[in-house]
Amino acid sequence: MTAAAALEIEGLRKSFGENLVLDGIDLSVGEHEVTCLIGASGSGKSTLLRCINLLEPVDVGRIVVAGEEITRGGVDVNRIRRRIGIVFQAYNLFPHMSVLENVTLAPRLALRQGGRESEEQARALLDRFGLSDKVDAYPDHLSGGQQQRVAIVRALAMQPRLMLLDEVTSALDPELVAEVLEVIRELAAGGMTMVIATHEMGFAREIATRVCFLDEGVILEQGSPEQMFGSPRQPRTQQFLQRIVNAHRL
């Protein structure tokens, strides 16, 4: 393991009761890399992301973030989570708070930022992602695309070193997908280390440093986007991508 790795996963296993969801995941993500996880629903993409953020306890294996093992017992999960942002498929904004309150809540409580500091930072971030006119709006008055962009900003306000995106466009109407992908593109351009579970194959091909194909809880195949989408080696990967092509999604 090199000190430069942003994220290192070794032999990760996780089951829910009898159901083995992750069956020995090994993955290494360097700083500023964008790793896209592809695979059918139920292949373990979401569970893997939730394990990295410690939202799900790991059964076996190690997860090391920037040199620190976060799966070791007695680790301060709140401190770990502050460095790892996660964005969910269903946005999960706090409906009783305005956009500004959504974004400033965690910096104020978890980072002990002052009211003014957190607000200035939030306004700057919202401005950067074209949401400056929605600062005082409530989530249920925003479109899905706007809500998801706010959710990304909310995670960014914690100044994470690593961002996990869990199918962030899957709940969106097709015409709203582009605005969210644009945000992710900008993050990638800014050098953010990201692990992205996605069904947007065209986007994965464009943005990924590396693509991992998950199948039944293991990374069956990984490589550069050119290799993975151009000449996948594993029959299961070929099958999966063929189905995507047939559905006109690539």
Partner 1 sequence: MASEGDRRADLEVDEPRRSRILGSLSGADGRRGVAIALLSTFVFVVVVVAVVANSPGWPAVHEGFFSWHYFKSTLPEIARAFLLNCKIFLISECLILPLALLIAVLRSLPGPVFFPLRALAIAYADFFRGVPTILVIYILALGVPGLEISGVPNSVVFWGIVALVLIYSAYVSEVYRAGIESVHPSQEAAARSLGLTRWQTLRKVILPQAVRRVIPPLLNDFIGLQKDTALVGTVGALEAFNVSQINSDGSFNFTPYLVAAVLFVAITIPLARFTDRLIARDRRRRQAQGGLA
The footprint of partner 1 (CB under 8 A) covers: 53, 55, 78-79, 81-82, 84-86, 88, 90, 92-96, 105-106, 109-111, 138, 140-141, 154-155, 158
Q: Write out the DSSP string of 28-68.
A: EEETT-EEEEE--TTSSHHHHHHHHTTSS--SEEEEEETTE
Q: Which is nearer to partner 1, 92 or 238 (CB)?
A: 92
The one-letter amino acid code at 68 reads E
Q: Which is nearer to partner 1, 81 or 149 (CB)?
A: 81
Q: Which is nearer to partner 1, 96 or 116 (CB)?
A: 96
Q: How far does CA 99 lie from the centroid of its chain?
A: 21
Rounded Cα distance between 249 and 206, Å, is 14
Q: How far does CA 196 lie from the centroid of its chain?
A: 5
| Nearest approach, Cβ of residue 151 and partner 1 (Å) | 8
Q: Which is nearer to partner 1, 104 or 237 (CB)?
A: 104
| Nearest approach, Cβ of residue 9 and partner 1 (Å) | 18
Q: Write out the DSSP string of 152-192.
A: HHHHHTT--SEEEEESTTTTS-HHHHHHHHHHHHHHHHTT-
| Nearest approach, Cβ of residue 84 and partner 1 (Å) | 8
Q: Which is nearer to partner 1, 81 or 205 (CB)?
A: 81
| Nearest approach, Cβ of residue 140 and partner 1 (Å) | 6
Q: Which is nearer to partner 1, 75 or 245 (CB)?
A: 75
User: Please, are residues 99 and 135 in contact by the beta-carbon 8 Å criterion?
Assistant: yes
Rounded Cα distance between 6 and 139, Å, is 32
| Nearest approach, Cβ of residue 29 and partner 1 (Å) | 18
167 CB-near residues (< 8 Å, 6+ apart): 45, 46, 89, 197, 198, 199
User: Please, are residues 86 and 123 in contact by the beta-carbon 8 Å criterion?
Assistant: no
Rounded Cα distance between 193 and 171, Å, is 23
| Nearest approach, Cβ of residue 143 and partner 1 (Å) | 10
| Nearest approach, Cβ of residue 106 and partner 1 (Å) | 4
Q: Which is nearer to partner 1, 66 or 218 (CB)?
A: 66
